[in-house]
Amino acid sequence: MDAVLYVCHGSRVKEGADQAVAFIERCKKNLDVPIQEVCFLELASPTIEQGFEACIEQGATRIAIVPLLLLTAAHAKHDIPEEIHKVYERYPQVEVLYGEPFGVDERIVDILVERIKETNVDKHEDSMVLLVGRGSSDPAVKKDFNEIAQLLKGKGAFKEVSTCYLAAASPNLKEGLHLAKRTSYKQVFVLPYLLFTGILMNEIKEELEQLSTDAQQFILANYLGYHDGLAHILSHQVKTLLSSKGNQYDVYRYA
């Protein structure tokens, strides 16, 4: 019997975890899979081990494990596979399929354009975007994030889209805002590339409080969030994974 185990990141802020669960509940309706469970990598429960065992207890013989992450970094490559391996060793008869994060997808860029429009600020022809990512020491993340920035530049018709990160990569948030402040752009749309609210969103808001002047306006857009468009992408990913010829060893492909 097939099962899907959605692995969310987790957050110290309860609202962040609640948002993830609500999103998964919406996604479940798009899939004809008898067993669907949600779990968290860290900072919230149930854990990956608990989620995996919940699938087994309901009779799962094949589990598609889907990381609910924006980009492929250490969590997707190492942390989640390590946790899966710990519990999988107890159930070697179960087939495990391991999916991928959302990655670079033009449909997500369309959501970013929508988030900017939702600020209800008339876009000046002399405007730029500062795209704020979570950050990672993995160089592949920076490469993918820069590709997303270039797609946003084209789709949103901006003269410039620059990037910065909240952790583990440079420029950091303060540096990114400082660089934007030094430009001649009259509008700077600050766009958080984050799935959920939490401490990181609060950090961005605090940094922006004193930046706007008569000559230059800083506008904070809403974070990417669990948009309906992401639900469609995720459903397609799950269907593709379950129809693949993958096997239990897929979980080790990033090792």
CA distances from 236 to 30, 36, 98, 244 (A): 9, 15, 14, 12
Looking at per-residue pLDDT, the higher value among 39 and 199 belongs to: 39
Provide the pLDDT confidence category of residue 137 given band limits of 50, 70 and 90.
confident
Closest CA to 137 of 77, 84, 81: 77
pLDDT at 13: 75
Q: Evaluate whether 70 touches 224 at the Cβ level (below 8 Å).
A: yes
Provide the pLDDT confidence category of residue 252 given band limits of 50, 70 and 90.
very low
Listed by start position, the domains of the chain span 2-102+227-243, 106-220
Q: What are phi and psi of 228, to 5 degrees?
A: -60, -30
pLDDT at 180: 94
Q: Is the pLDDT of residue 251 over 60?
A: no
Per-residue pLDDT, averaged over 176-190, amounts to 94
Query: How far does CA 148 lie from the centroid of its chain?
Result: 13
Looking at per-residue pLDDT, the higher value among 41 and 249 belongs to: 41
pLDDT at 245: 61
CA distances from 109 to 105, 131, 187, 196, 228 (A): 7, 11, 20, 17, 13
Per-residue pLDDT, averaged over 142-158, amounts to 95
Going by the DSSP 8-state scheme, the letter that residue 210 receives in this structure is T
Per-residue pLDDT, averaged over 36-42, amounts to 94
Looking at per-residue pLDDT, the higher value among 172 and 206 belongs to: 172
Q: Evaluate whether 193 touches 186 at the Cβ level (below 8 Å).
A: no
Cα(148)–Cα(163) distance, rounded to whole angstroms? 10
Q: Is the pLDDT of residue 248 over 70?
A: no
Q: Please tell me whether the overall predicted TM-score, pTM, comes out greater than 0.75 for this model.
A: yes
Provide the pLDDT confidence category of residue 124 given band limits of 50, 70 and 90.
confident
Could you tell me which residues are beta bridge partners of residue 218? 188
Which CATH code is given to the segment(s) 106-220? 3.40.50.1400
Q: Is the pLDDT of residue 73 over 90?
A: no
pLDDT at 254: 36
Per-residue pLDDT, averaged over 76-92, amounts to 91
Residue 63 region by backbone torsions, left for phi larger than 0, else alpha for psi between -120 and 50, else beta: beta
CA distances from 142 to 1, 22, 123, 132, 148 (A): 39, 29, 27, 12, 10
Which residue type does 188 have? Answer: V
Is 2-102+227-243 in CATH node 3.40.50.1400?
yes
Cα(224)–Cα(196) distance, rounded to whole angstroms? 8
The 10s digit of each residue's pLDDT in 2-32 is: 999 999 987 777 888 888 899 999 999 989 9
Provide the pLDDT confidence category of residue 102 given band limits of 50, 70 and 90.
very high
Which residue type does 74 have? Answer: A
Hey, what are 169's tokens? 């990569």
Q: Is the pLDDT of residue 168 over 70?
A: yes
Looking at per-residue pLDDT, the higher value among 127 and 207 belongs to: 127
What contacts 24+ positions apart, CB below 8 Å, involve 43-50?
43/9, 43/10, 43/11, 43/12, 43/17, 44/8, 44/10, 44/11, 44/17, 47/83, 48/5, 48/7, 48/80, 48/83, 48/84, 48/87, 49/83, 49/86, 49/87
The average confidence (pLDDT) of the chain is 89
Indicate if 106-220 has the same CATH topology as 2-102+227-243: yes
